[in-house]
Amino acid sequence: MLYVIGLGLSDEKDITVNGLEAVRKSERIYLEAYTSILLVDVPKLEEFYGKSVTVADRDMVETESDAILDRASEIDVSFLVVGDPYGATTHTDLILRARNAGVPVKVIHNASIMNAAGASGLQLYNFGQTVSIPFFTETWKPASFVPRIADNMRTGSHTLLLLDIKVKEQSIENLARGKKIFEPPRYMSVSTAVNQLLTLLEEGAEGYTEEAYTKDTLAISLSRVGSDQQVIKAGTLAELAEVDEEEFGPPLHSMILVGSRLHDLEAEFIEAFSVSTKEKSQ
């Protein structure tokens, strides 16, 4: 059996009882380590599970899936995913490969940012399409995601923004030279995301539209949701741009752009996170 197991959002104890039982009876255990991260390192997981864990990077999962699936129809193999197994298309692809190879698959679900975003106080059924924001480069400032935000805004729906993660990435120079030298991991912060959104606005980037957002659009920052270090802040994009980056804390971060169909209960809930309210009380 191939077990595809959600680990939840925070630490080694967020795994479900079913997931833990599957891990402890598995002969091989892989940890997908490029679409998200837990707030604890691999040795902490190994200590809790009582099992050795192999870190599986993007290249291994996407091009060496045969190694993961090897003998999985004869023995138990666990593939661990931060959040929920269906939170990234890569995991769907692995499940399809397993099915095509005749390997039985069992998915064990867990919390992900897709539902934990409810910690903001916004009602999940008021969300539209989820959007990913990539890092800008010196020569590339993508705005292709902006129309999807605009689609949500036209219906008054909220937009969950997933912020970019760069793990085991190569520079263009090293990639061109075939050198297996990797850049340090990078995790987009709320501050970076807000600055990029405002840059597209200020520069009138192709693809940007005021229907998606302006500097006065209400936004909510989400940091380390589900952990004891959870931080949530609410304010306009212009207000969040003025918040010191350190106040959002370490990764992982995500954001929400609030749609016009804001219910009174939602508005009351997020008032507690308002950066403008805190400024007035100081």
User: Can you give the pLDDT at residue 168?
Assistant: 66
pLDDT band at 169 (very low <50, low <70, confident <90, very high): low
Q: What is d(CA 69, CA 89) in angstroms, rounded to the nearest whole number?
A: 18
Q: Running DSSP on this structure, what letter comes out for residue 274?
A: B
In CATH, which superfamily holds the domain spanning 114-272?
Answer: Tetrapyrrole methylase, C-terminal domain (3.30.950.10)
Start-end ranges of CATH 3.40.1010.10 in the chain?
Answer: 2-111
| Residue 199 tokens, joined | 């840059």
| pLDDT for res 182 | 66
**Do 158 and 127 touch, CB atoms closer than 8 A?**
yes
Give the dihedral sign, CA 194/39/109/266.
Answer: negative
Instruction: Give the residue, 182 or 202, on which the prediction is more confident.
Output: 202
**Domain 2-111 of CATH type 3.40.1010.10:** yes
Confidence of residue 62 (pLDDT cuts 50, 70, 90): confident
pLDDT, tens digit, 9 for 90 and up, residues 220-276: 999 999 999 999 999 999 999 999 999 999 999 999 999 999 999 999 999 999 998
- Please state, for a pLDDT cut of 70, what percent of the chain lies above it: 93
Asked whether the predicted pLDDT for residue 281 surpasses 80, the reply is: no
Q: Where in the chain is the domain with CATH 3.30.950.10?
A: 114-272
Is there a binding annotation on residue 84? yes
The three-state secondary structure class of 254 is strand
113 is in an annotated binding site: yes
pLDDT score for 177: 65
9 is in an annotated binding site: yes
User: Taking 80 as the threshold, does the pLDDT of residue 51 lie above it?
Assistant: yes
Residue 93 counted as an annotated binding residue = no
| Residue 130, pLDDT score | 96
Phi-psi region of 102 (alpha: psi -120 to 50; beta: other; left: phi over 0): left
Tokens of 168: 């085991």
Is residue 253 a known part of a binding site? yes
pTM for the whole thing? 0.91
Q: Are 65 and 94 in contact (CB under 8 A)?
A: yes
Q: Mean pLDDT across the chain, nearest whole number?
A: 92
